[in-house]
Amino acid sequence: MFAAGAILEGPCVFEAHSRHVHASSLGSRTHSGLSEPSLQAQAPPGPDTSKPVEQSTAPEKSKPALPGGAPNGKRLVLKDGNFQLVREYQRNGERVRYYSLERADWEEIPASMIDWAATQKAEAATAAQDKEALEKLHKQEEMSRMDMALDVDASLQTASGVFLPAGEGMFAVEGKKTTLLEQAGLESHRDKKQFLKQIASPIPIVPSKTNLELPGAHATMRLDPSHLEFYLREAPPDPDRNTPIRQSSRPGESGPEVELVRATVKGNKRVLEQIRSLFGEQMDTSRKTVLLQRWQVTPNVFRFTLGEQLEPGEYALAEILPDGLNLYVWDFGVDGNSVKTVQKK
């Protein structure tokens, strides 16, 4: 039996103490012949004598002690199949010093008792699980953020008092009525009259002209311009998210630049834009636009209001992309009876 004050005296006494801690790490910490106060007065075992005390005790000062039974930690796998759950460990020569999470104290065991290959495998598995859990948590946070943004957008109230429906796209609001507009694809056709001029000219100086057209003389959607405004809800920025809004090229970074274009009806088609080019180089473009004002309601929702009265005719809301006109537009028409009603008011 050793007295409490003699535990740190001499090499043989230190070795006896190390064996005593090893026994405590594998089983009960019951000490025969020592009272509880004397146990609390004992200092934790020091490092291997081959290394300075300051280096071995530095981790204790830099890391706060964790409560016993904490779920996080590393596994020191023993050759007998058991393991020690530790916060950290240090190998000093033939001994291993570790902080036990089970007993919240520093302990030592011989390095020969540890299965180092199994310990490294356990550490790799724990690191992989931690990485997977972190990625899963990050995805959950992103989904929660996007769902929250969509929930906020879905509760938006328009100027007329109705709530904007959920989902992405361009909405036409006619007073208390809200309609989701469908996109129509533009077609590119060379202007026949300009093509004949090029053939007739002996010198190739006549520019070619290409029309961006919508098939059909009239749009299926007819709108009342008396109390008309538009709302565009875009998808949150996420490359993996599919959106019903189609774009013929990469969008800009300053928000959607949308123009209201009045179509020119030619036979059974509606021309939105004419592009003139010479020797393969684009010279200019022309289209009839109606004044439209943009207001940003939320980061993903934009409101568009008319700056002038719409005359009877065919129209399309077209997004201007860095590479030119988006080849997918939201088309609609205004009938004459709707304009007469507005003028009477």
pLDDT in tens, 66-83: 333 334 678 888 989 888
As a whole number of angstroms, the distance between CA 318 and CA 327 comes to: 8
State how far Cα 117 lies from the chain centre.
Answer: 39
Least confident interval from 1-5, 149-153, 315-319: 1-5
How many domains does the chain contain in total?
A: 3
Q: Has residue 198 been placed in a domain?
A: yes
Q: Which two tokens stand for residue 168?
A: 């992405």
Structure token digits, residue 233 = 């809800």
> Considering 133, 154, 175, which residue would you say is the last residue of a domain?
154
Of 69-73, 100-104, 175-179, the poorest mean pLDDT is in 69-73
**Do 321 and 175 have their domain in common?**
yes
User: Residue 206 pLDDT more than 90?
Assistant: no
Q: What is the DSSP code (8-state) at residue 176?
A: T
Contact, 208 vs 278, CB < 8 A? yes
What pLDDT score does 290 carry? 95
Residues 163 and 287 in one domain: yes
Distances (CA, A) of 302 to 12, 92, 254, 324: 81, 65, 12, 21
Largest CA distance in the chain: 119
> Which CA distances in Å does 182 have to 65, 195, 330?
62, 33, 6
Any alpha helices (H) in 27-172, and if so which ranges? Answer: 36-41, 53-62, 116-154
Same domain, 253 and 298: yes
Full residue range of the structural domain in which residue 294 is found: 156-344
Residue 331 near residue 261, CB atoms below 8 Å: no
One domain for residues 131 and 258: no
Residue 162 lies in a domain: yes
213 and 229: one domain?
Answer: yes
**Residue 119: inside a domain:** no
- What confidence score (pLDDT) does residue 148 get? 53
Which of 60, 91, 114 is the C-terminal boundary of a domain? Answer: 114
Paired tokens of 191: 């202007």
Are 134 and 174 within one domain?
no
Q: What is the rounded distance in angstroms from the CA atom of residue 335 to the CA atom of residue 345? A: 17
CA atoms in the 13 A half-sphere facing the CB of 57: 8
The larger pLDDT score, comparing residue 193 to residue 176, is at 176
Does some domain include residue 188?
yes
128: left (phi over 0), alpha (psi -120 to 50) or beta: alpha
Q: Do 146 and 196 belong together in one domain? A: no
Determine the pLDDT at residue 85: 87
Tell whether the model's pLDDT for residue 123 goes beyond 50: yes
- Give yes or no: residues 46 and 179 share one domain: no
Burial of 170 (0-12, 13-18, 19+ CB in 10 A): buried
What CA–CA distance (Å, rounded) separates 145 from 287? 40
Helix (H) or strand (E) holding 190: strand 187-190
191 and 304: one domain?
yes
* Tokens 């972190």 -> residue: 134
**What is the DSSP secondary structure assignment for residue 155, as one 8-state letter?**
T
Question: In terms of domains, do 105 and 253 share one?
Answer: no
One domain, residues 67 and 205: no
- Distance between CA 304 and CA 295 in Å, rounded? 6
Nearest-angstrom CA–CA distance, 89 and 108: 9
Q: How far apart are CA 47 and CA 68, in angstroms?
A: 22
The pTM assigned to this predicted structure is 0.52
Distance CA 261, CA 161 (A): 27
200 falls in which pLDDT band (50, 70, 90)? low
* Together in a domain, 15 and 141: no
